[in-house]
Amino acid sequence: MSTRPHELNFNQGLAEYAVVDAVSRGRRHPEPPPAYRSEFQRDRDRIIHAAAFRRLEYKTQVFVNHEGDLFRTRLTHSIEVAQIARSIARALRLNEDLTEAVALAHDLGHTPFGHAGQDALNECMKDFGGFEHNLQSLRVVDELEEKYADFPGLNLSFETREGILKHCSAKNAADLGEVGARFLNRQQPGLEAQLTNLADEIAYNSHDVDDGLRAGLIGIEQLRDIPLFNEQYEEVRRLYPELPQRRIIHEVVRRLINCQVVDLVQTSGSLLAQHAPADLESVRRHPAPLIAFSDDMRERNLELKRFLRTELYRHYRVHRMSVKALRVIRELFEAFFQDPRLLPLEAQQKVADLRRRDGDTGQARAVADYIAGMTDRYAIKEHQRVYNPGELT
């Protein structure tokens, strides 16, 4: 007899190719099923209670955390991705709980200082296997979180872990066992993972426009050269000619998100109807993703991405912070790798454990784990403690 009341309600109304508990490949460490939750609700709940998830509140999206209270952080970004992804999943009759779990976990491995921090740590780790935030997110949920008596990490389901790992080299995939096999076998992940990847793009493109305008690093007139933005802007100005500029921006960003979501749902719905996958395995074996934008929307997205890369991410004020971040990360890594006794006692023990197992590579990985887990302000403070003679503790 089932120990799970209301079990049938978990999957009610889902498409035949959605991921459900019954087809899950399970967890690395077997556990009894939860009584009043689906397996993917359990995953979502574990992620929300993880220390790494809380630390996202003080990790950079584009702007360093202390530059302003209204700019997005990794935490607010993750919540926004989850909202967008759940809406898409519901429209396509896919598993919302799995979708939300993947969305909330996808950035857990990000370093402080955003992509600048990742690039710096990857450079530091070039002789020790490199550093990549997708792999680090998986490492966080598989190994680094320490909350449960029976296993390391969060012991998430295979499907959630698969969704976290958006891309992976063949070399790294070979070391990851089952969760890396699809990269070697050229298979697709489940549809929930596919749609969360694109929801992430929708969120960061649209919200980086909002934050960039708020910071004054890009302007409306520049953005009007980008068709995806300008169409929404012209429509808002036509409908609300007296609306203040700040509310115009909010309305344009809202419409930016909506038009991309609508296109994604409609295009993906058509692809699913055309190819009619019979089940999850049919999705995995399909030669291309079945969640996709239309060709027109994909091109418009690329134009917006190119604009943001040139005008926002390479803006001199962002570049200045990136250079500072590089220095902080690089110098912390050098100090801790050369003398692990500079680390807190618990981190010293982890360095010693990994060094015994993997030598210099293990020591470097433990130092990278410690630095990657830092918030922006903690990294700055640690740098001051290590290098500033006035900071003794």
What residues does each domain of the chain span? Answer: 36-316, 317-387
**Given this model, what pLDDT does residue 68 score?**
47
**Given this model, what pLDDT does residue 69 score?**
47
**Given this model, what pLDDT does residue 313 score?**
87
Q: Are 376 and 58 in contact (CB under 8 A)?
A: yes
Is pLDDT above 60 for 372? yes
CA distance 297 to 294: 5
Please indicate whether residue 5 or residue 79 has the higher confidence score (pLDDT): 79
Confidence band of 72 (pLDDT split at 50, 70, 90): confident
Mean pLDDT, the chain, integer:
92
Is pLDDT above 60 for 15? yes
Q: Tell me the CATH number for domain 36-316.
A: 1.10.3210.10
Once rounded to an integer, what is the mean pLDDT over residues 240-256?
A: 95
pTM: 0.93
**Given this model, what pLDDT does residue 11 score?**
81
CA distance 364 to 358: 10
Which residue carries 């390391």 as its tokens?
152
**Given this model, what pLDDT does residue 1 score?**
36
pLDDT digits (tens, 9 = 90+) for 318-337: 888 889 889 999 999 999 99
pLDDT digits (tens, 9 = 90+) for 84-115: 999 999 999 999 999 999 999 999 999 999 88
Q: Are 121 and 368 in contact (CB under 8 A)?
A: yes
Is pLDDT above 80 for 27? yes
Once rounded to an integer, what is the mean pLDDT over residues 24-29?
A: 95
Which residues are 27's β-sheet partners?
Answer: 157
Is pLDDT above 90 for 10? no
Q: Are 100 and 71 in contact (CB under 8 A)?
A: no
Please count the other Cβ atoms lying within 10 Å of the Cβ belonging to residue 240.
Answer: 12
Confidence band of 2 (pLDDT split at 50, 70, 90): very low
Alpha helix ranges (H) inside 62-128: 74-91, 96-105, 114-124
Residues 77-81: contacts with CB under 8 Å, at least 24 apart? 77/107, 77/203, 77/204, 77/207, 78/53, 78/103, 78/104, 78/106, 78/107, 79/104, 80/203, 80/207, 81/106, 81/196, 81/199, 81/200, 81/203
Percentage of the chain beyond pLDDT 70 is 94
**Given this model, what pLDDT does residue 62 score?**
65
Is pLDDT above 80 for 391? no
Residue 34 carries which DSSP code?
P
